[in-house]
Homo-oligomer: A and B are copies of this chain.
Amino acid sequence: MKLGVVGLGRMGSNMRERLREKGHDVVGYDPNPDVSDVRSLEALVEALPAPRAVWVMVPAGAPTRQVIEQLSRLLAPGDVVVDGGNSRFTDDKVNAALLAEHDVRYVDCGVSGGVWGRQNGYALMAGGHEDDIARLLPIFDALRPEGDRAYSFVHAGGIGAGHYAKMVHNGIEYGLMQAYAEGYELLAAEESIADVPAVLRAWSQGTVVRSWLLDLLVQALSEDPGLGSISGYTEDSGEGRWTVEEAIAHAVPAPVISAALFARFASRQDDSPAMKAVSALRRQFGGHAVRSAEPVEVA
């Protein structure tokens, strides 16, 4: 089928290529003329036959909202917009309402797979009305890995459910990464372990902890066995925060996901104000900070 794609960064352009390889007719628009197929959003809309389908793949938040607003004015009743970015699920109801004023349909779709998706296929979590999902199935089927649809695609629920599922996916991802990372650090701290990368590589097959993330860590360690080239400064991209906030909203204990999130926060601090306060307290009550050679300090 014919599809418009708005946003041709790494993800958008990779998806355009995968869709074309699978036989779909994709028209892409990006402000960067080097990658764009058309000169404007208006041109993209004109290039599509009604009822149109437009997949938006731009950064979450204001950029996505801006594109949705522009599309609401350009599209016609019966057209459908898919937000495939990492939007917060709370944005979806607003986006849908904006488009609904013009009788334009809306589907949210969480996309997982990163740069590997172009080759392996992307996992897709969609939210919206069943009719709209049905209409987009050829696109979903082309984007996802081949094989049984149920293993890489889900119609998770109404509008917002796709991004909700993707948010939880990413929250879990935070926890998984931190679990491997703690194990890695412990192995690296234990002198009896002769070759830490070799231990992790040996977990690749047959173990309970085998996973794609483990494969990636093995790959990273094969490129840089001591990770000497990599800083521990670690960004977080929003979904981890939202997951913990949703856990709080639902009174769901989330000690692991929140610990993983806080570890990222801490990784970005040169010196922790909290730990300065702890140090200050220790100095106050016991003179611990003095580090003198006195026989005993009891507090």
Contacts and interface: CB of A to CB of B under 8 A. Distances in A.
A206 B112 contact: yes
List the 5 closest A-B pairs by CB distance, nearest first: A175-B179, A211-B211, A9-B295, A232-B275, A154-B202
A183 B257 contact: yes
A222 to B, nearest CB: 10
30 contacts: A58-B295, A60-B296, A84-B298, A86-B296, A86-B298, A114-B208, A115-B285, A116-B285, A120-B205, A120-B206, A151-B201, A152-B207, A154-B198, A154-B199, A156-B195, A156-B199, A156-B202, A164-B193, A169-B207, A178-B274, A179-B256, A182-B256, A182-B257, A188-B273, A211-B212, A220-B283, A232-B275, A234-B275, A251-B268, A267-B275
A293 B286 CA distance: 46
Main secondary structure, interface of A, reads: helix
A121 interface: yes
Nearest to A268: B251
Contact of A199 (B125, B193, B202): B125
Contacts of A299: 112-114, 170, 173, 208
Total identical chains: 4
Interface in A195-231: 195, 198-199, 201-214, 216-217, 219-221, 224, 227, 230-231
B192 A230 contact: no
Given A150-B198, A157-B194, A164-B190, 5 more contacts: A57-B298, A154-B202, A168-B183, A220-B283, A256-B263
Nearest to A217: B281
A124 B10 CA distance: 39
A264 B266 CA distance: 12
Given A209-B172, A251-B265, A283-B220, A125 B164 contact: no
A173 B256 CA distance: 13
Nearest to A160: B192
A261 B273 CA distance: 16
Contacts of A287: 10, 114-115
A235 interface: yes
